[in-house]
Chain A
């Protein structure tokens, strides 16, 4: 499947292991990534807060570039925040022909036009809805047996449900759990899975921001998770990069590794942890690495059968 691929900013900046691991696993899932190198930041909700029309125009430019990417079936992103911020702009653009015409007039100088109805899916949605969990199960070379994984979705990819196309046929708020199970892992239920990591207010109210991260991580520790997995690099910044500070705020040791979704998928597909950039995390994913080196997790045992 050939997709117009929007990696986002943070996945190439402060969480380079996300973009890197996506590039590693794509060929193993027959996904061909056509990167949108010319597209700009989605605005992460902040540009929309500053000036909604500006955010709508910048994202309409990205959508137009995606629609012009030859032979692609749809646009794919790897960031919950990109998904939510872009869906918000797309909702306005698709709602009114008059508004869309106004935005397209601004883009006309660049020879770009956005046409209503782009499909823009996070890798998580693409995995479940386009590739399918059956195919994923088939490709697993190292099932995540006995690995207890807590899902952490990120606000932007679960709310509001009408904008994000969440309904009875598309229970997208359960997809992480479904993927963890398809990879052979065990889902750990805990209070924070659909809550906010606190990152957006890290520069405004640092204490409240880190309290959110610390509380959810602590809940996951108490529920017995070996690690968390998230489709959002901004959540990763608060949950992993800031975890040493969050530990101070909530007054307890956490030591909870946080994996990017493509890293978790990559492990199950048989890739070694260092190829997935797991040595780059602030919280060493020791529990996960130990697991990949264990007898149960040994890749060759299953690969030989397959």
Chain B
């Protein structure tokens, strides 16, 4: 047996008192879970500690909390490891973020997480006519959605989504991963409609900042951000959906600028994201309006010679021979009949075989 001290964040909104920290020392082996530690504290010292749990085996998704500031399942985190990663030898446990607290470590999943899951129509809209017996689908297409199917709805990714922190309306990582589960399913009839809806929503697929927080948070390897990127590929490349959020335009302008210059021509990316993939984009009303609204920044950058007119008019580029190589690589890879997606989650690594 070893002793571990837990610092639990206590809060009862109905009491009218502010949240406070409370420490309890428990006796357990280092390989036992933080959840077991919390349950022992509840059993021995204070029966009023609020924690939601059920399976204790990382499959029901009930005990999502923040441990030492990081979202995880309490039942999926060893006490020994948690202590090692703590700031001061005390394991700090608090409720998940981005959701209101009901009591102590229990958050209101209904108010945020489940509402967002329902937002993406989380069921199969069957292709008609429905076959008399089963659907026959290619094996690969079901393997492709297994990663998004691994989600246990614990809310860890929602808790620490940095986009949702500033934009609570963002549909968010868990719900968008769920959306890919149906967009990637050949039996579903509404791929285009789903993608159009999520691309046009100002808080949809293009609201993700690509910060990897959800990938780190997920205890099941779902990598929600990767599923969001796949939704973008399907929307922009396969269905050519030109959304009002500049998402598709930005992606295509970026890829095309690298093909043209080999390096990023920053002065071109902003106007082209608004006005389309042409050097004339800056003269289009949408791009001109955006450039005008950014004037305070642009003026200072020019004034301080951070950005020079020469750099704007004549962007840096690779030597001719290298540009030729880049163009050839683009033509070869983009010319393939099918876009390859090598996914380590599915294929595994050579050394693990």
Contact = CB atoms under 8 A, between A and B. Distances in A.
Interface of A: 9-10, 12-17, 37-38, 40-41, 43-54, 56-58, 61, 84, 91-92, 94-97, 99, 102, 106-107, 109-110, 155-156, 159-161, 168, 195-196, 198-201, 203-205, 207-209, 211-212, 215, 241-245, 279-282
A52 B340 contact: yes
A53 B341 CA distance: 7
- List 4 A-B pairs, minimum CB-CB distance, nearest first: A159-B212, A196-B211, A9-B264, A203-B273
A281 B246 contact: no
A91 B216 CA distance: 16
Given A48-B229, A168-B84, A200 B297 contact: no
A46 B163 contact: no
Contacts of A96: 342, 347, 349-350
Interface of B: 84, 162-163, 165-167, 170, 202-203, 206-213, 215-216, 229, 232-233, 236-237, 245-247, 250-252, 254-255, 258, 262-266, 269-270, 273-274, 294, 296-297, 300-301, 304-307, 311, 315-316, 318-319, 322, 325-326, 328-330, 332-334, 336, 339-342, 344, 347-350
A41 B306 contact: no
A135 B340 CA distance: 46
A40 B326 contact: yes
B75 to A, nearest CB: 21
A97 B350 CA distance: 7
B255 A46 contact: yes
A274 to B, nearest CB: 12
Contacts of A61: 325, 329
Contacts of A58: 258, 326, 329
A212 B332 CA distance: 39
Given A14-B266, A50-B236, 13 more contacts: A38-B322, A40-B263, A41-B263, A48-B229, A49-B232, A52-B340, A53-B341, A84-B212, A96-B349, A159-B216, A195-B211, A204-B247, A279-B304
A197 to B, nearest CB: 9
Contact of B349 (A51, A95, A204, A280): A95
Contacts of B265: 13
Contacts of A204: 206-207, 245-247, 250, 273
A204 B165 CA distance: 17
B266 A13 contact: yes
B202 to A, nearest CB: 7
A232 to B, nearest CB: 12
Main secondary structure of the interface of B (DSSP, over half): helix
A211 B348 CA distance: 38
B326 A208 contact: no
B304 A9 contact: no
Nearest to A250: B166
B206 A159 contact: no
A196 B210 CA distance: 9
Given A49-B232, A155-B212, A195-B162, A208 B167 contact: yes
Nearest to A107: B329
B315 A95 contact: no
A41 B209 contact: no
B246 A203 contact: yes
A106 B229 contact: no
Given A14-B307, A38-B319, A51 B250 contact: no
B76 to A, nearest CB: 16
Contacts, number: 208
Contacts of A94: 349
A201 B165 CA distance: 14
A67 to B, nearest CB: 16
A47 B254 contact: yes
B262 to A, nearest CB: 5
A57 B304 contact: no
A107 B332 CA distance: 10
A10 B265 CA distance: 9
B273 to A, nearest CB: 4
A144 B264 CA distance: 34
Contacts of B212: 84, 155-156, 159-160
A9 B263 contact: yes
B306 A160 contact: no
A245 B315 CA distance: 25
Contact of A50 (B163, B202, B251, B270): B251
B326 A46 contact: no
Contacts of A203: 246, 250, 269-270, 273-274
Given A47-B254, A244-B300, A198 B209 contact: yes
Contacts of B305: 280
A209 B347 CA distance: 35
B258 A40 contact: yes
A125 B258 CA distance: 28
A50 B318 contact: no
Given A48-B229, A204-B247, A211-B167, A106 B329 contact: yes
A155 B213 contact: yes
Nearest to A92: B342
Q: Which of A51, A168, A195 has the most CB of B within 10 A?
A: A51
Contacts of B233: 49-51
B333 A57 contact: yes
Contacts of B213: 155, 159, 196
Which of B210, B250, B273, B316 has the most chain A CB atoms inside 10 A of its CB?
Answer: B210
A44 B253 CA distance: 13
A217 to B, nearest CB: 13
B252 to A, nearest CB: 7
A59 to B, nearest CB: 11
27 contacts: A9-B266, A15-B306, A38-B319, A40-B318, A47-B258, A49-B232, A50-B233, A50-B252, A50-B254, A53-B333, A95-B350, A97-B350, A102-B340, A106-B332, A155-B209, A155-B211, A159-B212, A160-B212, A195-B162, A196-B162, A196-B163, A200-B210, A203-B246, A204-B206, A212-B163, A241-B301, A245-B297
